[in-house]
Amino acid sequence: MRLMQNSGIEWIGEIPKEWTINSISQLFSQVKNKNTDLQETNLLSLSYGKIKRKNIETTDGLLPESFDGYNIVESNDIVLRLTDLQNDHKSLRVGLVTERGIITSAYLTIRNHSESIAKYLYFYLHAFDISKGFYGMGAGVRQGLNWDGIKWLKILSPSIPEQQAIADFLVTQCAHIDSVIEKTRAAIEEYKRLKQSVITQAVTKGIRPNREMKDSGIEWIGEIPTEWRLSKIKVGVTKVGSGKTPSGGADVYSDEGVLFLRSQNIYDTGLILDPPTYIPSEIHEEMKNTRVLPNDVLLNITGGSIGRCCIFLSEFAEANVNQHVSIIRVIKDIFIPEFMHLYWVSYLGKMSIQLYQTGGNREGMTAEAIKNSPIPIPSIPEQSEIVAYLNEKTAAIDSLIQKKEQLISELEAYKKSLIYEYVTGKKEVK
């Protein structure tokens, strides 16, 4: 067993006695190599802790007019995104460059000028990052860091052979863990596709066997049972309409009052209130035309979450919504809320959104588009049968998805622990 000593560094604790401690400025220099006259066109970005190529010819409007101010970086440089430390506590902020290219000078790029192994140094700084070490170090309103703010940061220095051994070990182990995580995520996507397929089959064909079918006349719906009718959503609703931003905007949000829902609260599996937002009762009264009642179906109608849908459950007396959420209130003799919810979760609902959304980038669903979306309509008793059947089937699939997601969480935690234990000397590569 190796001898240990106190490092004097709070997040590390004890380290092997033979290891030394350096500062970033002793091992690195700051890279300031401007891309004058577009010397380099290989555009790189830092995303989820990885340095990736980005298309410099893209027209999506997210890139600057000129890349002259970008930094030219080389393989084994380390890029740190040390902006907005006040608000964003989730991002991975350290990336290792693997090829020559350019990256925004808003990020801090540092280059190893010592004999130390670049990949070991990267793993060490990555361990500091995932330990949330950068948070609280920043200055200014949005808490940012520059070279002067991190150059005194301590870095552990094992012998060069041990650095190489740690780096090689972690590269191999992390690649294996990442591969398992990637396959697990692919399996989750397969389960999600299976779930949507099961729902779509049930809401278009029903669950009763050996029945006569007829052509719906709509390509993406196909055949439906003969006794079903095909109509538009408007025949079975008393209300389709979105909410609005309350008078006073976010300044009137509070910790009590009437529940106020936004698109980030609406998921296919139900409401996620983390934490809940409320508006005062008097403002809720002013917004009486946009109030939500128990069993209303809520549909996100704009942005990246368009199509997410849930039912406002009866555990809440009422609520209100903003303009990004539509309220669909069904006629109980024509639809049950659960069946309407399943329609939007199914492939049919996704097709309606794809075909009928409007806007410059086809980015929103209007009330008229929702009302005119085609929907197969079984009898109320058969809708109840379908809902009960799908509750059982989707619960089983959701359970499998949950187990896979738990595996990913465990693997990610194990990976973080593995990196931390080896770059701080708690464990030794044999």
The per-residue pLDDT for 145 is: 87
Mean pLDDT, residues 79-103 taken together: 87
Q: How confident is the model at residue 135 (pLDDT cuts 50, 70, 90)?
A: confident
Q: Report, as an integer, the average pLDDT of 204-217.
A: 95
Q: Please give the angle made by the CA atoms of 143, 144 and 145, to the nearest 5 degrees.
A: 130
310-335 mean pLDDT: 92
Confidence band of 90 (pLDDT split at 50, 70, 90): confident
Burial class (CB in 10 A: 0-12, 13-18, 19+), 146: middle
Q: Identify the pLDDT of residue 396.
A: 97
**Mean pLDDT throughout 294-302?**
94
Q: Which two tokens stand for residue 86?
A: 């006040």
Q: What pLDDT score was predicted for residue 21?
A: 97
pLDDT at position 66 is 78
Specify the pLDDT at position 251: 84
User: What whole-number distance in Å separates Cα of residue 91 and Cα of residue 45?
Assistant: 14
Instruction: Decide if pLDDT at 63 tops 70.
Output: no
The full DSSP string for 307-338 is T-EEE--TTSS-EEE-TTEEEEEE-TTT--HH
**Mean pLDDT, residues 344-359:** 87
Residue 138, φ and ψ in degrees, nearest 5: -75, 170
Q: pLDDT at position 345, please?
A: 95
Element containing residue 393 per DSSP (H, E): helix 380-423
How far apart (Å, rounded) are the C-alpha atoms in residues 389 and 199?
10
Distances (CA, A) of 68 to 31, 52, 64, 71, 134: 15, 20, 10, 8, 29
Confidence of residue 61 (pLDDT cuts 50, 70, 90): low
Handedness of CA 53, 59, 60, 62 (dihedral sign): positive
Residue 426 pLDDT exceeds 80: yes
Residue among 113, 102, 114 at smallest CA distance from 33: 102
Average pLDDT over residues 360-384: 88
pLDDT average, residue stretch 132-144: 70
Q: Which domains, ranges and CATH numbers included, belong to the chain?
A: 4-157 (3.90.220.20), 229-377 (3.90.220.20)
How far, in Å, are 27, 93, 123, 240, 424 from residue 171 at the CA level?
21, 19, 9, 54, 16
Is residue 141 predicted with pLDDT exceeding 70? no
Please give the single-letter amino acid code of residue 153: L
What is the reported pLDDT for 60?
58
**Is the per-residue pLDDT at 219 higher than 60?**
yes
* pLDDT tens figures, 153-199: 999 999 999 999 999 999 999 999 999 999 999 999 999 999 999 99
Q: What angle do CA 177, 180, 185 make, to 5 degrees?
A: 125
Report the C-alpha dihedral over residues 152, 155, 158, 164, rounded to 10 degrees: -120
- Answer whether residue 149 shows pLDDT above 80: yes
Task: List, for residues 245-296, the tens digit of each pLDDT value.
Answer: 887 888 888 888 899 999 999 999 899 988 888 988 888 888 888 899 999 9
Cα–Cα distance for residue pair 167/159, rounded to 1 Å:
12
Give the model's pLDDT for residue 140.
Answer: 55
- What pLDDT shows up at residue 81? 92
In the structure encoding, which two tokens stand for residue 240, read together? 């389709």
Give me the pLDDT at residue 85, please. 78
| Residue 137 reports pLDDT greater than 80 | no
Residue 379's pLDDT is 97
- DSSP string over 214-235: EE-S-TTT-EEETT-EEEEGGG
3-class SS of residue 154: strand
Report the share of the chain in percent with pLDDT over 70.
95
Asked if residue 276 has a cis previous peptide bond (ω within 30° of 0), the answer is: no
Q: Is the pLDDT of residue 89 over 80?
A: no
Q: Has residue 1 got a pLDDT over 90?
A: no
Inform me whether the pLDDT recorded for 360 exceeds 60.
no
Residue 339 has pLDDT above 80, yes or no: yes
Q: pLDDT confidence of 389, banded at 50, 70, 90?
A: very high
**Does an H or E element contain 52, and which?**
strand 50-53
User: What is d(CA 14, CA 4) in angstroms, rounded to the nearest whole number?
Assistant: 6
73 compared with 58, residue with greater pLDDT: 73
Q: Are 367 and 227 in contact (CB under 8 A)?
A: no
Chain-wide mean pLDDT for the chain?
91
Q: Find the mean pLDDT for residues 410-421.
A: 97
